[in-house]
Amino acid sequence: MSAGEEEQIIKQYQPLIRALIPYEQENRLLEGINKFSSRLPSSVRKIVKEEVVRLTSLTDASADNSAFAQFPVMKFKHFGIPMRLDKVGAEILKSETSLYQDRYTVGVFESVMNSDFYQTQIKRDQFNKIVDAFKVESQSFTDIDFGDDIAVRPNFTVSSPDFEKGRHCTISSLSFTGLAVETKRPPNASTGDIITFTVPEVMGLTKEPIDITYELDNVKYNKHLGKYESFFTLAADVDKDLIAKLKRYIKGTSYRQPLQRDLEIERAMQDLERDRILENSPWMPVFLSPFEASLKPTIALFTKANVDHNDADKLLASLQDKRIFSDLADELTRFNEAFVFYGKIKTKRGEVFIAATHRQLLELGQLNAIIYLLVKNGDFICTHCRLDDITREDKHKAFAIHDSSSKEFDHLAAITHVLYCRDVSGYVNNLTLSEKCEFKPLSKTLQASGQQWHIDYVMEEALDRRSETRYIIDKTAQIKLSLLSSLDVKVSDLSASGMKLLVPLKTELQKEVRVSVPDLKIKNEKYRVVHHCKETGVVRLCLIEDGKKAKAGANVGAMVEENTAYFKLRDVARIQRATHRFIWELAVRHMPSLSVLCVMNRYILDRMKTVYQSDTSDDLYPFSRTKNIIPLHGFFADKAVTKPKSLMLDAMFKGDIEHSLVVHCVRKSDNRLVYIKERDFLYTKLRNQIEAQLAEDKIQISATDVTAIRCHGAVTPLTKKRLAQLSKLDKAVYDKLETMQAGYTHCIFVTNMSALHHDLVMAKLIAKPPRSNCENEGAA
């Protein structure tokens, strides 16, 4: 075998050679060779063995890398041998010496003197710096679990004749194993004293005053409270049933009252940050309840951001068709994610409404044809959907936090799932065929049925434009159609100058109608029809501006004043506020995307404060987190640079771009990650090469959408609610957290869309370059 061939073998099997070095150091080289290379030809095994022996042999050659070193070069002795190395060379010497079990061998000398090895080390160090610069600590959307450390600050006091002369003392902390009480001065008690406190009648704990014995553990001055705290632990002889009652009380009231100060600060921080993510998320939550053997949509939550970033009517319309929603629910139950195509295509019989998931189109072999026709017609939406379960515990928490009753809101108690949806048509609406495809007859399973679910919606008060208080009411009424005929209808809600009626389906109404509601003393009042949906029979009316408006409004006002208690329960604003808070509380615990909270800072990378990610999320793929550290360099860091920088983040913070698609290919042969520019992936011939590699199962594609949204304001609809408990504990921290809310600037959402983009590539669909790009290429 020639020297060139031997050199090639040594280069090819370098990882194996380095793996065998520790075996040679322990005189187990043959065992290592048999373990790692039993199938190699004997000639290759011989060369590998000789190379390992050569590298591990001792040497006394002095190392000098000054020819390619970075300034400054240091002179020192290693094992008595002269060295002239820079900082990087010294690091290589240290690491290689440890590989060879603290011996100075030929392998160590050659590694120190090898320029390529040196450059690889520099690149590795630079890459590690970039990775470290883009690491962010993570939090979970799941509530913080304080476990047995949980402690509440209850709203009752305790007293004992043996402590503070029987004065009633405020409890600053009540836990499973003890309590802490506040006093203005140091108490006249010593560590180890046994004190029996009297606990008053407390709902959920005891129906009459009871005595509980504690042992004094220590006394500390709390600078935050400005008082002394005496810490007690439960005495050894306390009844086990009483301890169980204490635990049940603490768990049952932990969402209705403040926690111990430090725990309440942690909880408030998480609540405030989750609220901010929901408030500024492009995802719209739609809540589902069981229907027969499937699910049905019931109510959606509108926020400032999801209304801004989606056409809300069109988005909900894509989910309302009963046939498509049944198929969608089945698909989401299996995969937790789906993409819905909803819109019109032109056929020989005229325009037809299409409603189908991308997996249905794939199964019929019509993904490319239908997308081509939808894009050609232009009137369609592609909706990205993700599903999550709502547990009974989630609903119990939401009712408890906002002091509502499941009996009063039984339709909310029936919710079992949340479906998050957003418009991703931007990745589809400029696609075209890269080659001819077969246009098959249109399957009936793809056509919208025309039967639709009704989806209610609820919004924060800042978005609600109603100017008057409305009350839910159930009264019979009549609409006068002519001199001798009238139509019996139902009043479903009422305000001083308007009402909502339910009329028979397909009823024709004039623009102005006269309405009588005998029970409300409204007779032949003239109303204007503001809205009439013939499919649902819902009619909204507004009292016509004339002298009678004041009279009708006065009648309603007088009726409300006479029956305050009755109408308070039926106030639509109150009901909607309670509904809004309940479903908001469910939504913040199940956000679908990895979310990055950003704050004000002069350095771009320091603006990324916290990452929130669900425990089951795969949005970080093809990267992975280590404990609670999230690496974001793969999505944000500039490629092929020596220092940590991000042009993408810079542009997003300036508002120049809002969306970006980050694409990687994972090579299956060696798991190597290859970054692909968004433009190359969408518009160039490289897309065809990727399609060929996918067809041969040589690679796996990862396509991740990155969306940045500027925070709409310093407060969210629940900011005051989140800080209310903390204001009772520590006004200084309350003020600090309230001020901090203005420091959040952006929310960035990282969403894995590989399932859709993989299938679009395989369907031979390619994006048409923007016109400006085409013109630039033509000029070139």
Residue where the block lists tokens 């099997």: 13
Distance of CA 747 to the CA centre of its chain: 10
pLDDT for position 1? 66
pLDDT for position 467? 58
Separation of alpha carbons 207 and 224, rounded Å: 34
Residues 6+ apart with CB under 8 A from 765: 367, 368, 371, 372, 431, 432, 433, 434
Equal CATH topology for 151-253 and 471-570:
yes
List, for residues 577-625, the tens digit of each pLDDT value: 889 999 999 999 999 999 999 999 999 999 999 999 998 899 999 999 8
pLDDT for position 729? 87
Region 352-381 average pLDDT? 93
Separation of alpha carbons 30 and 23, rounded Å: 8
Region 46-75 average pLDDT? 92
Higher pLDDT, 560 or 163: 163
Separation of alpha carbons 220 and 665, rounded Å: 59
pLDDT for position 440? 84
HSE of 212, CA atoms in CB hemisphere, 13 A: 26
Instruction: Indicate if the pLDDT at residue 776 is higher than 60.
Output: no
At residue 524 the predicted structure's pLDDT band, cuts being 50, 70 and 90, is: confident
Q: Which fold has domain 471-570?
A: Thrombin, subunit H (2.40.10)
Distances (CA, A) of 518 to 16, 157, 461, 490, 555: 93, 55, 33, 12, 12
pLDDT for position 778? 41
pLDDT for position 572? 66
Q: What is the mean pLDDT of the chain?
A: 89
Phi/psi at 504 (5° precision): -60, 145
Options 3.90.10.10, 3.30.70.580, 2.40.10.220, 3.40.50.300; CATH of 151-253:
2.40.10.220
The long-range contacts involving 323-329, CB below 8 angstroms and separated by at least 24 positions, are 323/355, 323/448, 323/449, 323/451, 324/355, 324/356, 324/357, 324/448, 324/449, 325/295, 325/296, 325/297, 325/453, 326/294, 327/356, 327/357, 327/360, 328/357, 328/385, 329/288, 329/294, 329/295
pLDDT for position 555? 65
List, for residues 102-155, the tens digit of each pLDDT value: 999 999 999 999 999 999 898 888 989 999 999 999 999 999 999 999 999 999
Is residue 194 a contact partner of residue 157, using CB atoms and an 8 Å limit?
A: no
Structural domain boundaries of the chain? 3-136, 151-253, 282-459, 471-570, 594-779
Higher pLDDT, 244 or 408: 244
Instruction: Indicate if the pLDDT at residue 774 is higher than 60.
Output: no
Which residue, 695, 699, 697, is CA-closest to 763? 695
Gyration radius from the chain CA atoms? 35
At residue 534 the predicted structure's pLDDT band, cuts being 50, 70 and 90, is: confident
Terminal-to-terminal C-alpha distance of the chain: 52
Which DSSP symbol is given to 366?
-
Higher pLDDT, 71 or 564: 71
pLDDT for position 484? 80
List, for residues 317-360, the tens digit of each pLDDT value: 999 999 999 999 999 999 999 999 999 998 888 889 999 999 99
